[in-house]
Amino acid sequence: MANTNREFSEADARIAEAMKDPREQRGPFKKKRANQVLTRGEVRAIKIGRKKLRKEMRARGIRSRKEFELTASSMGLYFDRGKFLAFWLWWFHKRGLVSLIAAGVLLLSVLYMYSSITEMQGHFTINMSEGLFAEGFSLSSEESFEDPKSRLFCDPAVEVPCVSISDIQADVDDVDGQHNEATYFAYTFYIRNEGESIVDYDWELVINSESRELSKAAWVMIFEDGLMQFYAKGREDGTEEALPYYDDNTRGYCQIPFEEDLIDPEGQAELIAVKNGREYYRLIPYVFESDEVIASGSQWEVEPTDVHKYTIVIWLEGDDPDCTNDMIGGHMGVDMKFRLVSEEAETDDEEPGLFDTNWFDFWGVDPADR
């Protein structure tokens, strides 16, 4: 009891000392009592008094918050309420409005930076479905799989000119990772079954975004385990593209590009003439499967530790009649997707999942720059 009396006496002394401080409060939320702004000393004295009263009431066995507030109010140990209103009044008063605008600009800047980073990470990737990932598959830009990943990121080829299939490097399938030239996009990667089950999977190369109808002039090579097929969008009348086209046998390719790698050289190259002992060929790309899907395929009975290799090459075919100046500044986004055969293909109506909506990008420039 003596200790309690001593504490109360010390509290009275602190109250008396605090009351001597006549300075005004700082900040936007000035405490008031009976609608009168208090000094710093009065605020401190009320806080000390409330603390003392709480101890006194608890010592008498009174712990009701309602009774405490009623008693404190009768003794003048209270503050007016209404901080929420004071907050908004302060924001829109003098410098508060400037602070609000500055905070808004800062928030927009942070959101812009976040969206930019997210966008960059979302583009130019190879990804797997959640089901394939759960089976233990991983991706790598190196055959050694020293750094396996669940998705791969790569940079776009930008400001590429229109070129010919003959300009693609002959060793394009022999270089791991990203190896863009100034004239085309190229990326080589691997997928491995690190799980314990024998798995079947599908793959798709899908157009996710484009402008200026760039896909009309974009040609695509897909190497799968060293074997290649090449693709181009069909003509307006629905027929397959061909270079030179079927009504022109006056010119042709002196040799079949990547002939040793082609799965079906006879189906993708047609002999059209022999002059002075030299053969000339017409190239016939497979037609894109749809407006969105470039090509698709499957791997069956992929056993644990099995590795499959892919190289994707995309270029603007300058000999394609659709490659015109109208495409300058255009872009095309492409996504390489892997999923279990048992998983249903995604539709445009579905919400994007963890491994969805990612692109390769590149930009078209004037064919005259070729």
Instruction: List Cβ neighbours of 322 (8 Å cut-off, separation of 6 or more).
Output: 213, 216, 217, 233
Query: Tell me, what's the pLDDT at 96?
Result: 56
The whole-angstrom separation of Cα 368 and Cα 49 is 86
Model confidence at 288, in pLDDT bands (50, 70, 90)? very high
Query: Tell me, what's the pLDDT at 351?
Result: 37
Query: Tell me, what's the pLDDT at 111?
Result: 47
Model confidence at 49, in pLDDT bands (50, 70, 90)? confident
Pick 273 or 99 by higher pLDDT: 273
Other beta carbons within 10 Å of 280:
18
The whole-angstrom separation of Cα 363 and Cα 157 is 7
Q: Is the pLDDT of residue 276 over 70?
A: yes
Task: Determine the average pLDDT of the residues in 295-318.
Answer: 96
Model confidence at 305, in pLDDT bands (50, 70, 90)? very high
201-219 confidence digits (pLDDT tens): 999 999 888 888 899 999 9
Query: Tell me, what's the pLDDT at 221?
Result: 97
Tell me if 327 sits within 8 A of 210, measured CB to CB.
no
Which of the listed ranges 22-26, 66-70, 249-253 does the model predict with the highest average pLDDT? 249-253
**Mean of all residue pLDDT scores within the chain:** 80
Residue with token string 């603007």: 316
Q: Which of 26-35, 266-275, 297-306, 357-366 has the lowest mean pLDDT?
A: 357-366
Judge residue 328's burial from the number of C-beta atoms within 10 Å of its C-beta, 0-12 exposed, 13-18 middle, 19 or more buried: middle
What are the sequence ranges of the domains in the chain? 2-93, 124-241+285-369
DSSP 155: P
Query: Tell me, what's the pLDDT at 358?
Result: 34
Model confidence at 87, in pLDDT bands (50, 70, 90)? low
Q: Is the pLDDT of residue 261 over 70?
A: yes
Nearest CA-CA partner of 360 in 186, 117, 227, 213: 186
Query: Tell me, what's the pLDDT at 140?
Result: 95
Query: Tell me, what's the pLDDT at 239?
Result: 86
Entry pTM: 0.64
Q: Is the pLDDT of residue 339 over 80?
A: yes
Query: Tell me, what's the pLDDT at 313?
Result: 95
Model confidence at 348, in pLDDT bands (50, 70, 90)? very low
Q: Is the pLDDT of residue 349 over 60?
A: no
Which of the listed ranges 24-28, 75-79, 284-288 does the model predict with the highest average pLDDT? 284-288
Q: Which of 98-102, 139-143, 358-362 has the lowest mean pLDDT?
A: 358-362
Query: Tell me, what's the pLDDT at 367?
Result: 42
126-150 confidence digits (pLDDT tens): 889 999 999 999 999 999 999 999 8
Instruction: List Cβ neighbours of 49 (8 Å cut-off, separation of 6 or more).
Output: 11, 15, 72, 75, 77
Q: Is the pLDDT of residue 250 over 60?
A: yes
What are 307's two structure tokens? Answer: 């590795």
